[in-house]
Structure 1
Amino acid sequence: MDKPGNLLRVLSLKDAVGVGLGAIIGAGIFVVTGVAAGIAGPAFLISLLLAGTVATFNALSSAQLAAVYPQSGGTYEYGYRLLNPYMGFAAGWMFLMSKLAAGSVVAIGFGSYFYLLLPYGSPLALSIAAVFMLTLANFFGIKKTGYLNLFIVGLTILALIYFAVSGLPEIDENNFIPFAPFGLSGIAEATALLFFAFTGYARIATLAEEVKEPEITIPRAVIITIASAIILYVLVSLVAVGVVGAEAMAFNKSPLQLVASSMRTPGISAVITLGASTAMLGVLLSQILGISRMMLAMGRRQDLFPMLERVHSKYQVPHLGILFTGLIIVALCLFGTFEFILASAAFTILLYYSITNIAAYVQPKNERRFGLVVPVLGLLGCLLIALSLDAKVMLSGISLLLLGFIIRFLVKRFI
């Protein structure tokens, strides 16, 4: 049934871009934009561009590394090869912690949104059903999963384009005055928040072992993904602020639905609810993909249980990693997400990308594509964003990291 082995290289440029967009376009655009509007006012549009710029530097570092080291695991792999095993493990462990928590959050988000369209059963039951179905879908090979992902992402993007086109004629320029009521500090804080809305592009690098011609495809896919996400986010946010104003968005947990309800376009509210539902599905699908591949990579080096490196002989997917991922996300949905993990998500992402940029910085000169300025600016961006985090968040993140090293020691010692 299974064996330690290689995965299939079947993902094209289109598939890789779909995975990246599926990972990015989720709770960020449908939820976080409202919070950012409350922090910075209409000037959160500037924050969005700044966050996208920092994310672009990090994305280019990831692309440069993945093109040379096209194995599953992303920064976990680069940390091992270019830095040391401890840095590599730290990146892999923090990736797992943040993405497992995020997976449960988007699953619950899907249940809440989809229940508005089909009020049968309960939101929790819909969340569990979504995890079950997407876990099952992951078993039947990366190519079929890629087709499903493209379909889901396509629906989400069409919904957001319909929203933006519908709202452009209804923009009121008075809603942009005052533009920056909370000054530079508000813009900086909103930038830190919105940075995390862009971080899904790393999923492309995590799946590098399944991408065709990775040295060419991955850099192109990352650049197309981040550029598309920035343009879409800015356009949608511009319309949202212009139609209802930043203050109204700030006091609503579903800001785009609020905006849609004030539009005159037929069916726009239902379209946005459907778009939010498919966005959550897309993120959840990409989370299961990325987490299971990280488990595979860490199982190969016995940083986690060695059985996680098993690849199904027929479908050539890390089926045990997929199964464990689904079970953990279901458990988090049923018993409540761990606040400890969620509070540390910001720190874990920053640590992951900091290690990415350090690894890109020490790459041999002949392997670099973008020069030293890219990882330097990426690392500086991560450090500046970290300055806006609460000290308790950093302490909880460090505690999580220490827990990971304890588990690693036990696995290597006794298994």
Structure 2
Amino acid sequence: MTPPSAAPNPPAPPALARRLGTGDAVAIGLGSMVGAGVFSAVGPAAAAAGTSLLVGLAVAAVVAFCNAVASAQLAATYPSAGGTYVYGRERLGPWWGFLAGWGFVIGKTASCAAMALVVAAHLVPAAWQRPVAAAVVLVLAAVNLRGVTRTASATRVLLGVALAALALVLAAAAAGGRADAARLAWEAPGGWYGVLQSAGLLFFAFAGYARIATLAEEVRDPARTIPRAVVLALGAAVVLYAAVAVAVLAVLGAEGTAGTTAPVLAAVQASGWQWAAPLVRVGAAAAATGALLALVAGVGRTALAMAREGDLPRPLAAVHPRFSVPHRAEAAVALVVVALVLTVDLRGAIGFSSFGVLLYYLVTNLAAIGQPRDQRRFPRSLQVLGAAGCVALVATLPAASVLTGAAVLAAGVLYRLVSRRAARRRAR
């Protein structure tokens, strides 16, 4: 009697096409960082730390560098979509990967909604901002669905507009006659706690380099390209943030910087360059649009990786046969973001997002610490410092942000427990 044949192995999930070079990866990472913070994070950081936000910027840059090199080291070894969701699974186990992936998805989905609202706030009156923000999300989702090379090309254009606007800001501060070095004198009204809180806010602005790692499956020669792109993008962002922060503080002072929701625009207007204000508005909208474009792509890739493992619904793992993008995952992300911008007050989104992002990078550093010597490109001490920095910055977040983040994280853990139990029952 012929024994029954073994059940065939399930087909491997379709892979994404490797189309991105170093320049594309740098543009996506820098575009994410510029849009996420340079037009918005300086004001809250000044409220927390006064002029000592410059020290907070340095602290955030050090923590971000440690996290960036850990991400680069891991991405070179595991060049698949999903970033730390993949690294946590491979190095620490499925639950660690899930915590990183879920933290990234919830945190960055909130960031997407915030960026869409920033775009609308710079373009239209308040009554139109929510519908315009929703329209922006749908348009950018359509761009992403046409392929990652279109995402990179669009990000380059938007980044160029944002950088031109920031160059105008620096010129206005230098030539407008209102800058005064005395306004940069050291003050730390919140003490070291305030400095660390400003670092936590500014770290949120640096976190865009994660987009490079989450797109690792689409990068050519990832072992060489990803470490270079991460370091180049982060280095450029640090220089840019420092220059803008110094210029804004020199024109407005710490109190004036903290007292406005648009400190970069206020610095230009205070310098007497009123004609430049519309150009800065366009630059801010372009920066936020570039960040949103890359964010939707990054969250979609992480959702793809989680769906492949069953940690999110498996239909989200589909890859479009023509454009080689996770079209279902990106469409789902876009719909959730649209729902948020239409219904939710997102003034606390930065704190909530920071909770998820810092959890994500804590797992990144823990995964990189255990890598063997032949996979190591950076000293292990940098990953230890990065993990400690993530824990320290989480401790400075507002209590409401921590509690909300913990509740949503717990909901994700419950979903995974229930879905895994159901899967085991079906397998019996």
TM-score (norm 1): 0.94
Kindly indicate whether the alpha-carbon contact (under 8 Å) linking 2:16 and 2:217 is maintained by their aligned counterparts in 1.
yes
In the alignment, the residues of structure 2 paired with residue 193 and residue 63 of structure 1 have an alpha-carbon distance, to the nearest angstrom, of 23
2:39 counterpart residue number: 30
Structure 1 residues 180 and 406, CA, compared in 2 at 3 Å: closer, same or farther?
A: closer
1:185 aligns with 2:193: yes
Residue 162 of structure 2 corresponds to residue 153 of structure 1 = no
Cα distance between partner residues in 2 of 1:47 and 1:95: 23
Q: In the alignment, does 2:299 pair up with 1:291?
A: yes
**Any conservation in 2 of the 1:47–1:190 contact (CA below 8 Å)?**
yes
Q: Which residue does 2:108 correspond to in 1?
A: 99
Shift of 1:391: 4.3
Aligned ranges for residues 108-187 of structure 1 at < 5 Å?
Answer: 108-115=117-124, 122-169=128-175, 170=177, 171-187=179-195
Residues 110-152 of structure 1 show CA distances to partners (whole Å, capped at 9, x for unaligned) of 1111116xx9x82222212111110100111111111111111
- 2:236 aligns with 228
Which residue of structure 1 aligns with residue 4 of structure 2? none
Asked whether the 8 Å contact 1:104–1:337 carries over to 2, the reply is no
Runs of 5+ in structure 2 lacking a partner? Answer: 1-11, 424-428
1:86 aligns with 2:95: yes
Q: 2:124 & 2:199 partners in 1: Cα distance?
A: 32
- The 8 Å contact of residues 184 and 246 in structure 2, kept in 1 or not, is answered as no
Candidates 344, 350, 359, aligned match of 1:351: 359
Aligned pairs for 1:9-24 within 5 A: 9-24=18-33
Query: Cα distance, 1:414 vs. partner?
Result: 4.2
What is the alpha-carbon distance in structure 1 between the residues aligned to residue 413 and residue 191 of structure 2?
41
How far is 1:182 from its partner?
4.2
Per the alignment, in what secondary structure is the counterpart of residue 344 of structure 1?
Answer: helix
> 1:126 & 1:334 partners in 2: Cα distance?
10
- Taking the aligned partners of 1:148 and 1:165, their CA distance within structure 2 comes to 26
Which residue is equivalent to 1:323? 331
Distance 1:73 1:149, change over 3 A: same
- Whether the 8 Å contact between 2:75 and 2:223 is mirrored in structure 1 is yes
In 2, are the aligned partners of 1:24 and 1:229 still within 8 Å (CA)? yes
Deviates more, 1:38-47 or 1:6-15: 38-47
Amino acid of the structure 2 residue aligned with 1:128: A
Residues 228 and 69 of structure 1, relative CA distance in 2, 3 Å threshold: same
Q: What do the CA deviations read for 1:212-264 (whole angstroms, capped 9, x no partner)?
A: 10000000000001100000000011110111211111111111111111123
Deviation, 1:385, is 1.4
Question: Which of 365, 369, 373 pairs up with 2:373?
Answer: 365
Distance in 1 between the 2:333 and 2:359 partners? 22
Identity rate of aligned residues, in percent? 37
> Is 1:375 aligned to 2:383, yes or no?
yes
The residue that corresponds to 1:269 in the other structure is 277
Query: What is the distance in 2 between the residues matched to 1:201 and 1:27?
Result: 11
Query: Residue 97 of structure 1 contacts residue 341 of structure 1 at CA under 8 Å; is this kept in 2?
Result: no
> Is the 2:200–2:354 Cα contact (8 Å) retained in structure 1?
no
Any idea what SS the aligned residue of 2:319 has?
strand
Amino acid at match of 2:255: E
In 2 relative to 1, CA 5–82 (structure 1 residues): closer, same or farther, beyond 3 Å?
A: same
Larger Rg: 2
Deviation, 1:404, is 0.7
Asked if structure 2 preserves the Cα contact closer than 8 Å seen for 1:160 and 1:236, the reply is: yes
Equivalent pair of 2:26/2:229 in contact (CA under 8 Å): yes
* Alpha-carbon distance in structure 2 between the residues aligned to 1:295 and 1:181: 41
Distance 2:168 2:350 in 1: 32
Q: Which runs of 5+ in 1 are unaligned?
A: none
Aligned residues: 410
**Offset at residue 338 of structure 1 (A):** 6.8
Q: Which segment is superposed worse, 33-42 or 70-79?
A: 33-42
> What amino acid is aligned across from residue 305 of structure 1 in structure 2?
P
Equivalence for 2:213:
205
- Which has the higher mean CA deviation after the structures are superposed, 52-61 or 341-350? 341-350
- Equivalent position SS for 2:41: helix
- Do the aligned partners of 1:300 and 1:306 also contact (CA within 8 Å) in 2? yes
Q: 1:154 to 1:373 in 2, by over 3 A?
A: same
Among 29, 50, 55, which residue is 1:46 paired with? Answer: 55
> Structure 1 residues 341, 157: closer, same or farther in 2, change over 3 A?
closer
**1:176 CA drift (Å):** 2.0
Alignment-mate amino acid for residue 57 of structure 2: L
Tell me, in whole angstroms, the C-alpha distance in 1 between the residues paired with 2:348 and 2:149.
35
Q: What letter corresponds to residue 144 of structure 2 in structure 1?
A: N
Q: CA deviation at 1:192?
A: 2.1
Q: Structure 2 CA distance, aligned partners of 1:229 and 1:340?
A: 24
What does residue 5 of structure 2 align with?
none
Question: Secondary structure of 2:144's partner?
Answer: helix
Are the counterparts in 2 of residues 304 and 411 from structure 1 also a CA contact under 8 Å? no
Q: Which amino acid aligns with 2:100?
A: A
- 1:313: which partner in 2? 321
SS of equivalent residue, structure 1 residue 385: helix
Q: Read off the aligned partner of 2:32 and give its amino acid letter.
A: A
- Kindly provide the amino acid, as one letter, of the partner of residue 60 in structure 1: V
- State the one-letter code of the partner of 2:283: G
- AA at the equivalent of 2:157: F
Could you tell me how far 1:40 is from its partner in structure 2?
1.4
TM-score, normalised to structure 2, is 0.91
Whether the 8 Å CA contact 2:100–2:360 is kept in 1: the answer is: yes
- Give the corresponding residue for 2:413: 405
Alignment partners' CA distance in 2, 1:109 and 1:190 = 20
- Contact 1:340–1:396 (Cα < 8 Å) also in 2: no
